[in-house]
């Protein structure tokens, strides 16, 4: 991490994926840049029970900020986070640009017990009395101009499965992942929504009057550059 820390301080670029309950070593590093990963797992009652998990534990997101990472995404173009962490943001410097580019619904909360992800049920877990619910950041983008030749750019995802789940081509997960990489690499001209092929998937998603049909993307980019945070996925696979 010392080498990665020095790299970022020189105007480096990082795309990082975290996971609930997974020790990656990236939490402290991201916190130095104002991106604090919250312990626990996101529960969003607005989302259905995809992937066999209890309802609410696999957030389907459709709240996007205006940002190059989410260019073209709107309430009709959803992304899927099967088990996610949330972030709290605090700008280390007044000139830093830090944004929650993808958030949950306003009814979401953070459950400290990540073992909920292994459970099953027909209802979303209920928050304890007094628990705060809010629009929780699932993806964060930061740009830090610290007087160097170029600004540091960081994108942090609260879920690594976003880049590998079986809905990658059916929803807009691939677009979000690729556009985050392009933005981090300062290749904004490559940011786009990829052509879709009509491939309807039937499963209930109780958002926007029970939106039920999504369309698949026709290609999968074979490799991603600048995904230093992909080490998280490798560690999980090797565990």
The DSSP line for 193-235 is PPPEE---------STTT-----EES---S--SS-TBTHHHHH
C-alpha distances in angstroms, 12 versus 67, 108, 120, 157, 170?
A: 20, 33, 41, 17, 32
- pLDDT of the residue at 117: 75
- pLDDT of the residue at 121: 62
Answer whether residue 1 shows pLDDT above 50. Answer: yes
User: At 7, is the secondary structure helix, strand, or coil?
Assistant: helix
C-alpha distances in angstroms, 148 versus 2, 4, 9, 74, 152?
A: 19, 17, 9, 34, 9
- pLDDT tens for 167-211 read 776 789 999 999 999 999 999 999 999 765 454 444 444 443 333
As a whole number, mean pLDDT of residues 24-31 equals: 92
Answer whether residue 230 shows pLDDT above 50. Answer: no
How far is it, in rounded angstroms, from Cα 59 to Cα 67? Answer: 21
Residue 83 gets the label, from left (phi > 0), alpha (psi -120 to 50) or beta, of left
DSSP assignment of 57-97: SS-EE-EE-SSGGGTT--TTS-EE-SS---EEE--SSTT-E
Give 198's Cβ-side CA count (13 Å radius).
0
How far is it, in rounded angstroms, from Cα 160 to Cα 227? Answer: 11
Average pLDDT of the chain?
81
- pLDDT tens for 38-56 read 999 999 998 876 666 678 8
- pLDDT of the residue at 222: 30
């Amino acid at each position: 991490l010392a080498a990665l820390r020095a790299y970022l301080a020189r105007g480096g670029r990082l795309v990082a994926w975290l996971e609930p309950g997974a020790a990656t070593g990236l939490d402290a590093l991201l916190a130095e840049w104002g991106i604090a990963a919250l312990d626990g797992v996101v529960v969003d009652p607005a989302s259905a029970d995809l992937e066999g998990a209890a309802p609410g534990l696999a957030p389907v997101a459709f709240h996007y900020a205006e940002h190059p990472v989410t260019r073209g995404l709107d309430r009709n173009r959803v992304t899927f986070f099967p088990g996610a962490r949330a972030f709290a943001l605090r700008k280390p410097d007044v000139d830093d640009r830090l944004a929650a580019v993808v958030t949950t619904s306003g009814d979401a909360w953070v459950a400290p017990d990540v073992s909920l992800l292994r459970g099953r049920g027909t209802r979303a877990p209920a928050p304890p009395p007094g628990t705060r619910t809010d629009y929780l950041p699932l993806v964060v983008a930061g740009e830090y101009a610290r007087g160097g030749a170029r600004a540091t750019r960081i994108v942090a995802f609260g879920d690594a499965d976003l880049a590998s789940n079986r809905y990658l081509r059916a929803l807009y997960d691939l677009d979000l992942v690729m556009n985050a990489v392009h933005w981090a690499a300062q290749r904004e001209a490559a940011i786009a929504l990829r052509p879709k092929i009509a491939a309807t998937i039937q499963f209930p998603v109780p958002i926007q009057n029970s939106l039920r049909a999504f369309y698949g993307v026709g290609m999968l980019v074979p490799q991603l550059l600048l995904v230093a945070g992909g080490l998280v996925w490798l560690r999980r696979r090797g565990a």
